[in-house]
Structure 1
């Protein structure tokens, strides 16, 4: 009996289907898909302090959708961040990620928080701005680029400085004060993260020359690797690529290897 061997086309199709199924199974196993990856799988040296996964943020509680404190981004973004981190290593500096992909439900929770007059909020985060004006003044968005997986909040840390207490809450002082709640290992940017105040504008004239220099280092570095800064917030960067829409999946725990 003559054995019938599959054609080259049939072999290629079968191989493609097998690879596609394996990729889909892997994505399902990790709780990801649509081109998202865990940043720690691309570069485990990047420091992460996912502020909205815990209580250390302007709402004082974890936001919905943050099932774990993992930075999740689109693959090209992760690859670019890996290049940024490699350049920083020569200076004994590191990225610290403060927020990455943000589920739509978390964005909605922020908007609801602004509109809820029964919640006064922590004035340390907006000492000179009315809580009700945070959306109109461009600090909180009703639709956020974070939900596309291409927008990030981050800062720089000095690897020569001890990180003890790095994740402590902002403290009792306003975010614009000299002692503004920065972690001890972070470079002094003039304000803490999520400081909804004119002083957080990237080129604010209210900050010192050293703080201006630290912000300039961050903006220039990120710019070389495809990221543009949001002028109202020195910590906010967008990857210069077309986004593929917003998402609302829960951020899962990273699978154990």
Structure 2
């Protein structure tokens, strides 16, 4: 009889925790403006072209994609994006700034390798369920720069060899070795991080202290969180200019 009572108490605890979790998710969904309808996004873009999401793979010839969440080579060990995904996006202003970054780096013999940029909101919720630490994963209550098409995760590579520059850690490293202010790193690593940081900040991006690869464009409350698939976003790409 005692064991039965203990089990009942345990089941009640589990049920209560589940209800609280669901309630919290419902609260997030009801208070945070999230664009999920492609038609709504089309209307937003038609009224304000700066809301457009621009494909990064077509910005400059020295931009490469290595979208880690399209396979299992990431901190979750899970594939969060469609398998073999070859496209990602930023809003118009940061996309244009990133093009200028790529042009400047090309003159130095460097290219940009993109690990992640636009991230559907549902993927952020899944990440938060795994690592509830706001130093490394955005809290879904507020959404993230990635969800708004304002953040990009990237590194540098040598155009001649295709090899990545040494940055001290890999992508999605949740240790102090990934922090910008960590002095206990080889001088070459600090120099390489400095090259990336200086050119990104020169063109308007802001660094994240805990992740050397993460840069964001200022939001100023203009951009809403999006939960659109990559395929849906790709339908709204601007038409190429006409040839005269």
TM-score (norm 1): 0.66
> How far apart in 2 are the matches of 1:145 and 1:65?
20
1:237 to 2:234 alignment? no
For each residue in 1:88-123, what CA deviation from the matched residue of structure 2 results, as whole angstroms up to 9, or x when unmatched?
111110011110001100000101223xxxxxxxxx
Give the Cα–Cα distance (whole angstroms) in 1 for the partners of residues 62 and 188 of structure 2.
26
Aligned partner of 2:101 in structure 1 is 84
Matches of 1:64 and 1:100, distance apart in 2? 12
Q: Which runs of 5+ in 1 are unaligned?
A: 1-23, 115-134, 164-184
2:198 matched to 1:220? yes
Instruction: Tell me the distance in 2 between the aligned counterparts of 1:150 and 1:213.
Output: 26
Structure 1 equivalent of residue 19 of structure 2: none
Cα separation, 1, equivalents of 2:156 and 2:229: 27
Structure 1 CA distance for aligned equivalents of residues 153 and 102 of structure 2:
15
- Confirm whether residue 72 of structure 1 aligns to residue 89 of structure 2: yes
Q: More helix per residue: 1 or 2?
A: 2
Check conservation: 1:148, 1:244, Cα contact below 8 A. yes
Is the Cα–Cα contact under 8 Å of residues 155 and 235 in structure 1 kept in the other structure? yes
Q: Which aligned pairs between 1:124-203 and structure 2 lie closer than 5 A?
A: 135-136=132-133, 138-142=135-139, 143-161=143-161, 163=162, 185-203=163-181
Secondary structure in 1 aligned to 2:146? helix
Query: Contact (CA 8 Å) 2:71, 2:81: kept in 1 or not?
Result: no
Match of 1:248 among 221, 227, 240: 227
TM-score of the pair, normalised by structure 2: 0.69
| Number of aligned positions between the proteins | 188
C-alpha separation between the residues in 2 aligned to 1:45 and 1:54?
23
Q: In terms of mean alpha carbon deviation, does 233-242 or 193-202 score higher? A: 233-242
In structure 2, distance between residues paired with 1:209 and 1:45: 26
- What is the match of residue 168 of structure 1? none
SS of structure 2 residue aligned to 1:42: coil
Partner of 1:57: 74
Where do 4+ consecutive residues of structure 1 move more than 6 Å?
A: none
Is the CA contact (8 Å cut-off) linking 1:64 and 1:105 kept in structure 2?
no
How far 1:68 moved relative to its partner? Answer: 2.7
